Structure 1
Amino acid sequence: MKTDKQLQEDVMRELAWESSVNSAHIGVEVDRGVITLLGHVDSFAEKWGAERAVKRVSGVRAVAIELDVKLKGAAKRTDSDIALSVSHSLAYLSTIPKDAIRAMVEQGTITLSGEVEWDYQRHAAENAVRHLLGVRGVINLISVKPKVNLSAVKSEIEHALKRRAYLDAQEISVSVEGDVLTLSGKVHSWTEKNLAINSAWNTPGVRKVVDKMAFV
């Protein structure tokens, strides 16, 4: 196990090796394997590069980033200019549905929000804006909302009914529009109806269940 001094030396060497970072302005403190980076950098991309470099070092238990982003000259931009650049960058991402992500810029810090279906889309959005000129920080509040799987809903309803010795779900129809799931068709009792509804609610991604089932 590395001592704090050994860990400090390794982190400083890794920062010096990382080409995207000017390690001359970064101080490294170590306390029982917890690394704290102090000082300043010229961009948020450099700050992120420093964090990434530290996390590559074996023996690091946690990282605290206390680096100030000090923009120079032409790197200073208004929030409006940054917001426009963010909008353009997100629009060019073919992997993310149009208008799925919202962005707010305040004092150079970008806050991303919205919903996507996959985690890689969440990270792609952050990667697209992290290196923009004038950015001081990025807060990623994008949530991952799984897409409703029609066959999975149908299967779950069938299994729920069979487990309780009821008829199968062949007479129940399932349709999906966005995150709204609609059940229609025929059921033979309140128990069957409730089982179908509860199964629908248990499906990942469902935000609303519409019951149009009729009794026979």
Structure 2
Amino acid sequence: MHTAHLIAPSNPAEHVVDADITAAIETLLATKKGLTSHLIAVSTHEGLVKLTGYTDNLLARQRAEEIALAVRGVRGVTSTVAVRTEEIGDAELQRDVCGALADDPATDDYQVHCTVAGGVVTLSGLVQSWAEKQLVLRVLQSVRGVRAFVTDHLTIRGGEILNSDEEITIQVRELLDWDIRVNGALVEVRTADHVVHLAGTVGTAAEKDRLVAIAYQTGATRVDARDLFVAYWALGRAIRREKFSPKADDAIAAAVRDTLRFNPRMRASETLVQVHDGVVTLAGTVSNLRVKQDAEQDARHVVGVAHVHNLLKVRPERLVPDEDIGPTVAAALARDPYVGHCAVHVQVHGGQALLSGQVDSHFELEQAGDVAAGVSGVVDVNNRLEVTAPTANAEEGFISSFLGEDKRSPATPDPDHALAERIRARYCWSASLHDQEVEVRVENGRATLTGTVDTWLDRKHAAAAAHEAGAREVNNHLLVLNTAPIHKEQLAAAAAHESLA
């Protein structure tokens, strides 16, 4: 059987050529879980990637696009990938779609109506913001059998627009300055008639997409990003690190509150935000587990946040008996495109969902936990799913990875050495990790990561890439630069959490 090699660029400091970008994306699609990569074709012209073919669910199509966006050298991604799902009757799919919206704590009271015909979901009704509309689509993307959406009659609240042009510009600029996922040092923002115009340069295609999303969530009716360019040189660490200069605790707390305010799941939550030496403490009561998880993730995306203590308590707005929660979680798992085939046993005690059984990958383990956390009435998830040992790693054929120059492995390579090389090759192709100071050591299939990265998100991506390369366990000891000091016990706790994740 033919297997491709994930080959690192011959000179990481230089612009990468189209053929290498195409080869890297094809290899990543082939080795990341949740994709039928042989059905997706990749082509690249001057850094612009085009994806064609088809997948078996909407989540997989989105995942393929996100993988391409995160590859170094990619300036943009267009996709005509079609979705060909298994045949599910309209009545059954209508039930599953309505059930997904009803079971999600945020969308259960939205004024949204769905009709289904041939796998296409037509949405109508009213939502309060662009972010709420995106949330509805994300929930329905997770329903097995959905092929496409028609949203012409799903209306964002009409009437008076709350933000003026000046207010939109200010909010976009503030969110851009505080979001660790984008670098707006070279970006100009202006608004006219509620149309946001973005101009300048960012380092990655993913940053450009994130900028457009930020503009929409502040109230823009349209975003014009034709003059916002992606340039390889803008990935320079000197440019990026200017963003991470020390920040005052009061300013960090205000930025966290602003970020939480734009999350549609947080609309009914009262969250207390306190910051001391860059360590954020979230306290108060929220109505569901997904809000608690989102609040922590949103806080970690803010510049200057060194660590997050999540003390939020989950207190559902209405009491849901355990005997009702269990079947609802089981139904949500069954309709999920990724874990619907897995034999997951669900038990619920006091609102805590216990998941047991076996899945094929770490990706499916995390997906099952996320699905359970999104069900009304669930206050915590105890994920005891076990990942079955694969019979053959999808990347075992990549026995020789190339880092710098052609270094071919011997006929019978050391498995740990081969795994370490695969992990390093993934870092070399990552737009965010390629120039970070990460050391990789592998013993008995267990990867240990040491060194430094710029952000918490880089730290998380480094661990995920190691898992995807085939590590059975990851000890993540990476330190995040340009953040306030963290007490040793907090750092140890974070490292222990990452090792489990």
Specify the TM-score bucket, using the shorter chain as the normaliser.
Answer: 0.5 to 0.7
What is the rounded CA distance, in whole Å, between the counterparts of 1:23 and 1:16 in structure 2?
10
Who is 1:172 aligned against? none
1:30 and 2:282 matched = no
Which amino acid in the other structure matches residue 363 of structure 2?
Y
Whole-angstrom CA distance in 1 between matches of 2:307 and 2:372:
25
1:64-213 aligned at under 5 Å gives the runs 64-72=309-317, 75-96=318-339, 98-149=341-392, 159=412
Question: Taking structure 1 as reference, are residues 120 and 24 closer, same or farther at Cα in structure 2, changes over 3 Å only?
Answer: closer
Q: Please, what is the CA RMSD of the aligned residues?
A: 3.0
Residue 25 to residue 98, structure 1, CA distance change in 2 (3 Å): same
Q: How high is the TM-score relative to the length of structure 2?
A: 0.29
CA distance in 2, matches of 1:45, 1:24: 12
1:18-72, Cα deviation, whole Å (9 max, x unpaired): 2211376111111221111011111222222212211211221111111112222
State the 1:126 CA deviation. Answer: 1.9
1:9 match: 254
Unaligned runs of 5+ in 2: 1-245, 400-410, 414-443, 446-469, 472-501
1:97 and 1:148, CA in 2 relative to 1: closer, same or farther beyond 3 A? farther
1:45 partner SS: helix
Q: Kindly indicate whether the alpha-carbon contact (under 8 Å) linking 2:354 and 2:384 is maintained by their aligned counterparts in 1.
A: yes
Q: Distance in 2 between matches of 1:51 and 1:91?
A: 27
Partner of 1:179: none
> Counterpart of 1:110 in structure 2: which amino acid?
A
Which has more radius of gyration? Answer: 1
Paired letter, 1:66: L
Distance 1:58 1:145, change over 3 A: farther
Instruction: Measure, in 2, the Cα distance between the counterparts of 1:6 and 1:150.
Output: 46
Question: 1:71-98 deviations in whole A, cap 9, x for unaligned?
Answer: 22xx321111101111222222343374
Name the CA distance, whole Å, in 2 between partners of 1:97 and 1:11.
35
- Aligned partner of 1:173 in structure 2 is none
Q: Does residue 1:45 correspond to 2:290, yes or no? A: yes
Alpha-carbon contact 1:89-1:129 (below 8 Å) kept: yes
Confirm or deny: 8 A CA contact 2:279 2:307 kept in the other structure.
Answer: yes
Q: 1:83 to 1:44 in 2, by over 3 A?
A: same
For residues 12 and 84 of structure 1, do their structure 2 counterparts lie closer, same or farther at Cα, with a shift above 3 Å needed?
Answer: same
Matched residue SS, 1:29: strand
Does the 8 A contact of 1:117 with 1:144 survive in 2? yes
TM norm structure 1: 0.63
Question: Aligned pairs, how many?
Answer: 159
Extract structure 1 runs of 4+ deviating beyond 6 A. none
Instruction: Provide the rounded CA distance (Å) in 1 between the counterparts of 2:353 and 2:326.
Output: 8
